[in-house]
Amino acid sequence: RLRPEISRRRWREIRRSTSSSTAARATPSHSTLCLDGTSSARLGERKRIGGIERELIVEGPREVPVELAQDAAGWRFEAAHDGYKRSHGLTHARKLELSLDGRTLEGEDMLFALDAKDRKTFDKRLDRGGLEGFRYEIRFHLHPDVDAELDMAGAAVSLGLRSGEIWVFRPEPGVKMAVEDSVYLENGRLRPRGAQQVVLSGRVMEYATRIRWSLAKAQDTAIAIRDLGQDEPDVTL
């Protein structure tokens, strides 16, 4: 079975929990696209392996192409996965383009039904849903030190850092956007810290869907400003 969406109430429960590892592995807990509130992978039953209880992935993406390139304009990252192919007939792809000065990040999330088999799966799923399409949500989880608030009549989100740096997040017109509760799992802390997340949402009605967004440093923010502190590097990456 696919794991259900993590609701706002569940976020609050996770914050109070001391055993949030399972929920943290669900797709809504990551800064990516989620379809119908379900995860792109399925976890098996909890088993003891090597003296440690684990939930291994028993069904998940099989094809995960990745490409990284650099040119005169900056850096480009492209990746995709087929984790929703079996359930929805859709492949999720993401493209990120970072400017050379690091002040602008442009993103694009895409959903495609790539062949006749995928389109058939898509149509069956669409029929079961009453032709209302699939709900998608793209989540961007923020560090607890980031202060996020809707701006420009809901067309943008201002992100304030402790250093005084201001960044502005904008989706393309027509995409719903909200700022919701989130949690941050930090080494050395027994409980998750409260945080925020930016959530884009809409419905998938066709074989191809594209959602564009951008993150840019505010024009009046000095180039030299940086965060006051840095997290410890994650040696597991």
pLDDT at 235: 47
Does 89 reside within a domain? yes
Condensed to tens digits (0 to 9), the pLDDT of residues 7-45 reads 555 555 555 544 455 666 777 778 899 998 887 767 666
- The strand pairing partners of 104, in sequence order, are 216
Residue 171 lies in a domain: yes
For residue 190, give the CATH number of its domain.
2.70.98.70
Range of the domain at 200: 59-216
pLDDT digits (tens, 9 = 90+) for 215-227: 999 976 666 555 5
Q: Tokens 């209302």 — which residue?
A: 132
* DSSP result, 44-83: ---EEETTEEE--EEE--S---EEEEEETTEEEEEEEE-T
Domain annotation covers residue 237: no
Q: Is residue 43 part of a domain?
A: no
pLDDT tens column, 169-190: 999 999 999 999 998 888 777 7
> Which of 8-17, 110-119, 121-130 ranks highest by mean pLDDT?
110-119
* Residue 26 falls inside a structural domain: no
CA distance 104 to 100: 9
Residue of higher predicted confidence among 89 and 21: 89
Task: Give a yes or no: residue 183 inside a domain.
Answer: yes
- Residue 183, amino acid: V
Number of folded domains that form the chain: 1
Residue 196 belongs to a domain: yes
Tell me the pTM. 0.79
